Amino acid sequence: MRFITELYSNPRVRLLALTLLCLAILVGLIVLYGRGDYSMHGFVYQDF
């Protein structure tokens, strides 16, 4: 735990961690909402 705290006090590590967090959020959003709706279920026959 102490090791992590010490590591996190390094500005470069913090920048890297924050960047990775932001990227992870972005990837999560893409996974959740990046799929379009391409479903098709066939059609209803229309008579006259």
Binding mask 1-40 for other proteins (x = CB under 8 A): ----------x--xx--xx-xxx--x------xxxxxxxx
Cβ neighbors of 13 (< 8 A, separation 6 or more) are: 7
If the CB atoms of residues 1 and 47 are measured against other proteins, the closer one turns out to be 47
DSSP, res 9: T
Residue 8 backbone class (left: φ over 0; alpha: ψ -120 to 50; beta: rest):
alpha
Q: Is 42 in the site for other proteins (CB under 8 A)?
A: yes
Give residues in contact with other proteins (CB under 8 A): 11, 14-15, 18-19, 21-23, 26, 33-44, 46-48
